[in-house]
Amino acid sequence: MHIDKQRLTHLQQLETESIHIIREAAAEFDNPVMLYSIGKDSGVMAHLALKAFAPGKPPFPFMHVDTTWKFSDMIRFRDQYAKDNGIDLLVHTNQEGKAADINPFDHGSAHYTNVMKTDGLKQALDKYQFDCAFGGARRDEERSRAKERIFSFRDDHHQWDPKNQRPELWNAYNTRIRKGESVRVFPLSNWTELDVWLYILREDIPIVPLYLARPRPVVERDGTLIMVDDERMRLHEGEVPMTMSVRFRTLGCYPLSGAVESEAADVASVVQEMLTNTFSERQGRLIDFDEDGSMERKKRDGYF
Amino acid sequence: MSTDAQLIRSDITAYLSKYEQKELLRFVAVGSVDDGKSTLIGRLLHDTGMVYEDQLAAVKAASKMEDGGIDFSLLTDGLRAEREQGITIDVAYRYFSTDARKFIIADTPGHIQYTRNMVTGASTANVGIILIDARLGVLQQSRRHAFIASLLGIPHLAVCVNKMDLVDYDEQVFDRIVAEFKAFAADLDFKDVTCFPISALKGVNIVEAAAETPWYLGPNVLQYLETVEIHDDLNRVDFRFPVQCVLRPNLNYRGFAGQIASGFVEPGDTLMSLPSGKTSQVKAVDLGGVPCDGAAVPQSVSIRLEDEIDVSRGDMLVKADNLPRVTRTVDAHVVWMSEAPLDTQKSYLLKHTTQTVRAQVMKVRAKIDMDTLEDGDGSSVGLNDIAKVTIGCTRALYIDAYKRNRGTGSFILVDSLTNNTVASGMIEAPAAGQDLDALLRETRAGSAIEPKTQVSPRERFDRMGQHGATVWLTGLPGSGRWALAYALERRLFDEGRTATVVDPTGNDFQGILSACKAATDAGFITICAYDSYQRDKRHVLRGRVGTERVLHVYINTDVAICRERRPNANFDGFEPPVEPDITVALDTVRLGDAVDFIVDQLGRRGQFERPD
């Protein structure tokens, strides 16, 4: 078939649009950073960034906001991935929060997330004076995200104003900001969870093993399976870790990430389970259960 | 039961390779309030199995339907504020897929004040869905929506005549609406217009053939979305490659990265770089750093050339035998998207492909009258207005008509003060051909904007909270006019205004006039009491500064007192003003009161921003 007749599959189309977005932001901002959360979406975004500038390296650093409560597998994976791909990786932890020993057990998920994640992110953005931060969020994840622009303006307090967003047409992105303001750029806006998994399969993108089912030590708490990832895990009276074959649909801080029972030990099986599943993805992430509309409020406050 | 569902269970790998081949279709759905658009979208998501049980449970709990049914519109209405208002307020994107295709929905509000949101959603759509209430027929609103969809270059229009259940699925009602709509749409630019009799609420003709409309033999909405041919909607002929950035990881690799806006490219093609006009052959087309056989719209690639020609961001690579129009002035339709109205005296930033230039709207040729959809009075263009304008740019753009090329025919305007996107533009067909010489001359030409201030009086007003004016004080020597001038300056300054007294030292009358004009243009309350005994001189002043910008104050302090104060001054030849704006006698009025009076007059003239 001649080249002018070729049809792009939807994955190729999503890929090509995301690469355009990443290049556009890299070309127009002075000091961009790619926020890297180690999850599968971040993995896809990082892969797209590598492709966008191949055979060179992305002209911006990656940054992980480390709450110190991530799964140890995630940290190992992060460091290996950065090393293998020659990525300039920054790691930031909210030192005040760490000194005050803010943790998910004593302070509740909302406060802990606010201090270690949201404040940590804002600190890091201020510290390095980034004017653009790439994030791996997708519009299909949550209803308030469905309205967010691909280039999403943040004021000098990192806040998002959902009622006052810049119109965004075609692939013409307005990147103009004043000093102190910034833009969050979401190259995966139009991807769905299934697209992400398919792309991981097609491109053979490495993912944290926690996404795949393995026998792991867990306890059941409030109907959710929590993995006992290290000695800091506080067991309630009568709780005894049991070994179950589980995997994680989303990865965050281990005491806040619910596992699902599964036998899916490879990506194709995970997708199979997902497609026959009837629950949406963020079900496994406890921080969204605070109240209806909570994601929108967190985003106004600067959470990704 | 979908065949995909079976395949997922039996052979996931086969399913995934099939899924991967699906084509992407974007559509925008527009309708007036209560047309049932959110319900239609909610219904599509639900009936194609895209709603998870926990989402559905939340929506069921929130539904307040009389019959206890599910309010499908809640699936799409996301943000808190709009849930409170009961309407969608901004573009929301939704995703679903079927056995045939993957879909992205831009869900946009339809009432007139939100034209800008519809335009946003329509800009990338392959298909536009318009909802018409079967009971109300083709409203002006529906015509507007179709007009905007056509203007934004949506190739395929689907007209859903909704709420057919409320007209007993009457074929004649449907036929009448279709006939009326098609007669109207004949003048628009759609490739095809397809009409559907539906009930979003009851799920009729959305994803299944309906028993309720045996007289309707066409496809249902979903079948249509799955099969409408979109491959040829992209311009696959005219190769246009706006360069985003140059990849130069080492001395051996120099690739020009970008997304192909239209056409295709293969190794060996002869490309010309604009604006330089230099040509070279394509050495390689790389996808993700790996050479490929060639690439076409809309792929993101990097192109390597045989020769080292100078190319950077904002430049465009084109085929030497198929050139775009190169021009510093463009005629375009603009959709105004900002609360601040179009200002023909200020310059905006215009972003076209990867190039950003300074631009000024030189002329508003017409504003579309949204009632008649014909050209109307263009004296003012504000939020949600659509206007035909002529824009001048500081540098040449490489353009095609929007109807031929969405990529190189579109632009946005950005206000450089607020950084907001204030307008979107669709370029009209440029006048007849341009030979290579003319094209290259245009790339070297200077700015098309006449060299004058790019800051408009309105912008100055927005910044300073006041309009510039000259307060001209006339009076005899000893009348106290300079004392009044400086007291007035002090008072205005204390009140947060920007004012200055033009000092007479070392200046002649002409110099004073120039100073007053410059300071008034800059937005200052400019105060001067320079000698102007003759009426002619004051007439000249009004001519230079502008009558409406001069406040003429006559200080008619008693002559005897003036002579007593300044016994050696020249009192000959003073011509009292005929019609001063203000007259004060500083022997009977205290200085402070005179200042009050002048400040009050300035306020009455609309000189200052009104407090909120």
The fold of B325-454 is Elongation Factor Tu (Ef-tu); domain 3 (2.40.30)
CA-nearest residue to B248 within chain A is: A56
C-alpha B281/C-alpha B320 separation (Å) is 10
| pLDDT at res. B84 | 46
Helix (H) or strand (E) holding B392: strand B386-399
DSSP annotation string for B305-342: ESS-----TT-EEEETTBPPEEEEEEEEEEEE-SSSPP
The token pair at B555 is: 């200080």
Q: Determine the distance in angstroms separating the CA of A81 from the nearest CA of chain B, rounded to an integer.
A: 19
Answer whether residue A121 shows pLDDT above 50. Answer: yes
> Which residues does B202 contact at the CB level (< 8 Å), separation at least 6?
B165, B212
Residues of A in Cβ contact (< 8 Å) with B299: 8, 12, 16
Nearest by CB: B231 against A7, A177, A190: A7
**Is residue B111 very low, low, confident or very high in pLDDT (cuts 50, 70, 90)?**
low
CB-based contact B577:B569 (threshold 8 Å): no
Query: Cα(B284)–Cα(B248) distance, rounded to whole angstroms?
Result: 15
CB contact under 8 A, A143 and B78: yes
* Residues of chain A contacting residue B45, judged by C-beta atoms under 8 Å apart: none
pLDDT at A67: 87
Task: Kindly determine whether residue B289 and residue A275, on different chains, have CB atoms separated by under 8 Å.
Answer: no
Q: Return d(Cα A31, Cα A42) in angstroms, integer.
A: 19
Q: Which residues contact A73 (CB under 8 A, 6 or more apart)?
A: A208, A209, A210, A229
At residue A297, does pLDDT exceed 60? Answer: no
Q: Using CB atoms, which residue from B236, B412, B420 is nearest to A4? A: B236
**Interface size, chain A vs chain B, as Cβ–Cβ contacts under 8 Å:** 195
- In angstroms, the CA B323 to CA B317 distance is 10
Tokens, residue A264: 């899916």
Question: In this predicted complex, what is the ipTM?
Answer: 0.89
**Torsion sign over Cα B189, B194, B199, B204:** negative
Tell me whether strands B525-528 and B469-475 are parallel, antiparallel or unpaired.
Answer: parallel
How big is the CA angle at B154 (ends B148 and B157), to the nearest 5 degrees? 90
Contact B210, B204 (CB under 8 A): yes
Closest-CA residue of A relative to B249 is: A56
Question: Quick one: tokens of B51?
Answer: 């709603």
pLDDT for res B402 = 96
Residues of A in contact with B92 (CB under 8 A): 143, 146-147
Which residue of A17, A55, A272 is in closest CB contact with B12? A272
CB within 8 A of B465, min separation 6: which ones?
B496, B497, B608, B609
Which one of B240, B245, B353 would you mutate to disrupt binding with A, by most A Cβ within 10 Å of its Cβ? B245
pLDDT at position A258, please? 86
Give B266's contacts in chain A (Cβ within 8 Å): 3
Cα end-to-end distance, chain B, whole Å: 61
In chain B, where are the structural domains located?
3-231, 240-319, 325-454, 459-604
Over residues B371-416, the pLDDT tens digits come to: 888 999 988 999 999 999 999 999 999 999 999 999 999 999 999 9
Closest by CA to B536, choosing from B569, B573, B502, B505, is: B573
Give the list of residues 6+ apart from residue A196 with CB closer than 8 angstroms, or none: A40, A41, A44, A138, A188
In CATH, what number does B459-604 get? 3.40.50.300
Q: Give residue-wise pLDDT tens across range B317-336.
A: 999 999 999 999 999 999 99
Q: What six digits make up the tokens of A145?
A: 């995200």
pLDDT over 90 at B302, yes or no:
yes
Return the HEC string of chain A. CCHHHCCCCHHHHHHHHHHHHHHHHHHHCCCEEEECCCCHHHHHHHHHHHHHHCCCCCCCCEEEECCCCECHHHHHHHHHHHHHHCCCEEEECCHHHHHCCCCCCCCHHHHHHHHHHHHHHHHHHHHHCCCEEECCCCCCCCHHHHHCCCEEEECCCCCCCCCCCCCCECCECCCCCCCCCEEEECCCCCCCHHHHHHHHHHHCCCCCHHHCCEEEEEEEECCEEEECCCCCCCCCCCCCCEEEEEEECCCCEHHHEEEEECCCCCHHHHHHHHHHCCCCHHHHEHHHHCCCCHHHHHHHCCCC
Residues on chain B touching A139 (C-beta within 8 angstroms): 93, 95
What angle is formed at CA B113 by the lines to CA B109 and CA B119, rounded to 5 degrees? Answer: 60
**Cis? peptide before B298, omega within 30° of 0:** yes
In angstroms, the separation between the Cα of residue A23 and the nearest Cα of chain B is 7
B325-454 and B459-604, same CATH topology = no
Q: What would the 3-class secondary structure string for A37-88 be?
A: CCCHHHHHHHHHHHHHHCCCCCCCCEEEECCCCECHHHHHHHHHHHHHHCCC
pLDDT tens for each residue of B200-219: 988 899 988 888 999 999 99
A183 Cα to chain B: minimum distance (Å): 12
CB contact under 8 A, B259 and A201: no
pTM (two decimals):
0.87
Averaged pLDDT for residues B338-342 = 92
Place A105 in a pLDDT band, splitting at 50, 70 and 90. Answer: confident
Beta bridge partners of residue B81, listed in sequence order: none
pLDDT band per the 50, 70, 90 thresholds, residue A273: confident
Q: Does the distance separating the beta carbons of B289 and A55 come in below 8 Å?
A: yes
- Which residues of chain B lie closer than 8 angstroms to A55, CB-CB? 247, 249-250, 253, 289
Q: Which of B506, B503, B531 is nearest to B519 (CA)?
A: B503
pLDDT, residue A293, reads: 45
Mean pLDDT of B225-231: 94
3-state secondary structure of B520: helix
CA distance B7 to chain A (A): 10
- In B, minimum Cα distance to A195 occurs at B20
pLDDT at B80 over 50: no
Chain A: closest CA distance from residue B165 (Å)? 30
How far is the C-alpha of B83 from the C-alpha of B12, rounded, in Å? 39
Best CA proximity match to A167, nearest among B423, B466, B81, B6 = B423
Residue to substitute from B12, B60, B87, B108, interface A, most A β-carbons within 10 A: B12
Q: Mutation test of the interface with chain B: which of A47, A51, A173, A174, choosing the one with the most B Cβ atoms within 10 A? A: A174
Give chain B's radius of gyration (CA, Å). Answer: 33
Q: Cβ of B93 and A174 within 8 Å?
A: no
Point out the residue among B12, B412, B416 whose CB comes nearest to the CB of A172: B412
Looking at per-residue pLDDT, the higher value among A257 and A135 belongs to: A135
pLDDT of residue B290: 95
Smallest CA–CA distance, residue B34 to chain A, in Å, is: 20
The whole-number pLDDT of residue B36 equals 81
Residue B33 has pLDDT above 80, yes or no: no
* A177/B516 Cα distance (integer angstroms): 36
What is the average pLDDT value for chain B, to the nearest integer? 89
Q: Under an 8 A CB cutoff, do A271 and B16 touch?
A: yes
State residue A298's pLDDT score: 53
**Cβ neighbourhood burial of A153 (10 Å; 0-12, 13-18, 19+):** buried
Q: Which residue of A has its CA nearest to B414?
A: A174
**B58-69 residue pLDDT tens:** 777 777 666 666
Q: Cα A190 to the chain's mean position, in Å?
A: 15
Given a contact cutoff of 8 angstroms between Cβ atoms, the answer to whether A217 and A241 are in contact is yes
DSSP state of B475: E
Cβ-based burial of B67 (10 A; exposed 0-12, middle 13-18, buried ≥19): exposed
Please answer yes or no on whether A143 and B79 come within 8 Å at the CB atom. yes
Partners of B349 on chain A (C-beta within 8 Å) are 176
Question: Cβ neighbours of residue B103 under 8 Å, at least 6 residues apart?
Answer: B24, B25, B26, B27, B95, B96, B97, B225
The chain-wide mean pLDDT, for chain A, equals 86
d(CA A47, CA A203): 9
CB atoms inside a 10 Å sphere around CB B263: 22
Tell me whether residues A54 and B288 touch, CB distance under 8 A: yes
Query: What gap in Å lies between CA B222 and CA B49, rounded to an integer?
Result: 13
* A40-53 and A193-203 helices, crossing angle to 10°: 60
In this structure, the number of other CB atoms found within 10 A of the CB of residue A297 comes to 13
CB contact under 8 A, B92 and A146: yes
**∠ CA A90-A91-A97, rounded to 5°:** 145
Contact A6 B296 (CB under 8 A): yes
Q: In the numeric block, which tokens belong to residue A280?
A: 């949406």
User: What angle, 0 to 180 degrees and rounded to 10, lies between the N-to-C axes of helices A193-203 and A10-28?
Assistant: 90
pLDDT category, A78, cuts 50, 70, 90?
A: very high
Instruction: Give the count of beta carbons closer than 10 Å to the beta carbon of residue A234.
Output: 12
Given pLDDT bands bounded at 50, 70 and 90, which one contains residue B30?
Answer: confident
**Contact residues for B571 (Cβ-Cβ < 8 A; gap 6+):** B476, B477, B559, B562, B563
Residues 6+ apart with CB under 8 A from A220: A226
Query: Regarding beta strands A258-261 and A224-227, do their DSSP bridges make them parallel or antiparallel, or are they unpaired?
Result: antiparallel
pLDDT at B524: 96
> Which homologous superfamily is B3-231 in?
P-loop containing nucleotide triphosphate hydrolases (3.40.50.300)
Instruction: Kindly state which CATH superfamily the domain B240-319 is placed in.
Output: Translation factors (2.40.30.10)
**Which long-range contacts (C-beta less than 8 Å, at least 24 apart) are formed by A104-107?**
A104/A69, A104/A253, A104/A255, A104/A256, A105/A234, A105/A255
The structure tokens listed for B16 are 């995934």
CA dihedral in degrees (A12, A16, A18, A21; nearest 10)?
-170
Q: What is the 3-state secondary structure (H, E, C) of B122-188?
A: HCCCCEEEEEEECCCCCCHHHHHHHHHHHHCCCCEEEEEEECHHHHCCCHHHHHHHHHHHHHHHCCC
| Alpha-carbon span A56 to A52, nearest angstrom | 9
Count CA within 13 A, CB hemisphere, residue B529: 20
